[in-house]
Amino acid sequence: MPKTKLLLMGSGAVLIVAVVVAAVFRGYGASAVEVRAGVAERRVYEDKVLATGKVETVNPADVVAPYAARLVSLKVKEGDRVAAGQSLGELDLADSEQSLREAEAAYNTARAELDQAYDEAKPERLAEAESALQASRAAAEAARKKLERYKYLLDQGAVSAAEYEEVEAAYSRAQAEEEGAAARLQALREGNTDRIKIQQARLKQAQVALDNARRMVDKGRLPAPIDGVVLQISAEVGSYLQPGAPILTIGNPDALEVVAEVSEQDIGGIAPGQDVDLNWAGAPGKTFKGKVSRVSPAVVRSGARESENVVKVYIEIIQGRQELKPGATVDAVIYRVKPHQTVLVPNEAVVGKGPNRTVFVIEDGRARRRAVTVGYSNELYTEIRSGIEPGKRVILNPKGLKDGQPVRETGGVKK
């Protein structure tokens, strides 16, 4: 074949290919959907809440005035270590000690009356009463017979009326003594059980009153409720205290926690076990470690900002107990999610709900659907745990897109 003809045929083939390629690109360009895109980036993700808290002892014990009285003395000072039951001071005990003396006297009286009731219930006392009744009956019978004899003598004129009346009076006395002996015996037989019960109840009441009086005297000596250290003294010696007035506080300085106030808008997601960083002005440059131990179930007014509603979060101090002091104000950083490297995409790129969702990426000018597993998210970004590599361009708001559909980026890339 002539060389000229071959060249013409080759040129024609090239022209045909060029026309086809151009037509294809014109078709792509005509049907491509304009989209905005972002980038899947490997970045540090964290979710933290800032709060202010106060260092407090765990389960502190307050010593308060048990009743109205003057504070006579204090035997301890702040920082002293004390043992449970140790007397920390003393109130004016004059009134309570007088009440104790009266309670002791009432108890002794009730005890004696019960002993007497028991004594009267003894068998020998009953035998004595029976013997007394028999003797009085015999005396009454003898007096009756004598009265009958004197009545006969009076009728015969052998005795005077005055003599008869004297014998008659003696008989009446003998009858009265018999009736009294019978009544005493009956009372012993029927009444001892009831009397003992009554005296037992009275003694029990007297014992309760005595115990209360002793307890009030003991409370007036201000015993320490727990082992610990005197953290704060709130009352002055010589002052008159009302019931419930605080005197001092005892706690264990080695058992500390932070009580932080978190705004109710930020409390979501905070849970026991989360890590906390603590910073105190008294130890500049140092960060102490803690963990959330519990979250209060109630929303309350802030102690520092009365117009704000807060939730109290209790933080166990893991590191720094020896340096942090009760009453110190600290800044707390509560990590709902600890800082970690991960892949993030803009929230607008994620389609669907639940952990398994969809993201469209741009590959060779086309939208490609990718199934992804998501993790944490905030108001801007969503964590991608699997399905997309860092650096991929992701389509924002891909509503209506189909897998493989031609796309063209507009408006730049969202960072």
Read off the pLDDT of residues 266-283 as tens digits, 9 standing for 90 and up: 999 999 999 999 999 999
DSSP symbols for 34-86: EEEEEE-EEEEEEEEEEEEEEEEESS-EEEE-SSSEEEEEE---TT-EE-TT-
Res 354: pLDDT: 83
Integer Cα distance of 237 and 90 in angstroms:
9
What is the overall mean pLDDT for the chain? 87
Res 414: pLDDT: 56
Q: Which of 59-63, 119-123, 192-196, 360-364 has the lowest mean pLDDT?
A: 119-123
User: If you search the block for the tokens 């003396």, which residue do you land on?
Assistant: 101
Tell me the pLDDT band of 374, cut-offs 50, 70 and 90: very high
Read off the pLDDT of residues 189-231 as tens digits, 9 standing for 90 and up: 665 677 778 888 999 999 999 999 999 999 999 999 999 999 9
Integer Cα distance of 227 and 154 in angstroms:
96
Integer Cα distance of 94 and 386 in angstroms:
79
- List all residues 6 or more positions away from 74 whose beta carbon is below 8 Å from its beta carbon: 88, 89, 233, 235, 237, 247, 248
Read off the pLDDT of residues 16-34 as tens digits, 9 standing for 90 and up: 334 334 444 444 444 899 9
Kindly state the percentage of the chain with pLDDT values over 70.
89
Residue 53 backbone phi and psi in degrees, to 5: -140, 175
User: If you search the block for the tokens 């008989």, which residue do you land on?
Assistant: 171
Res 213: pLDDT: 94
Integer Cα distance of 246 and 368 in angstroms:
71
Read off the pLDDT of residues 311-354 as tens digits, 9 standing for 90 and up: 999 999 998 888 898 889 999 999 999 999 999 999 999 999 88
How far does Cα 206 stand from its chain's mean position?
A: 36
Structure tokens at 287: 């960060």
Tell me which DSSP letter residue 32 carries: P
Structure tokens at 178: 């018999």
Residue 65 backbone phi and psi in degrees, to 5: -70, 125
User: If you search the block for the tokens 């007088």, which residue do you land on?
Assistant: 98
Integer Cα distance of 11 and 123 in angstroms:
148
Structure tokens at 25: 């690109």
Res 411: pLDDT: 66
Q: Average pLDDT for residues 114-123, to the nearest whole number?
A: 74
Read off the pLDDT of residues 375-410 as tens digits, 9 standing for 90 and up: 999 889 999 999 999 999 999 999 889 999 999 998
- Predicted TM-score of the model (pTM): 0.57
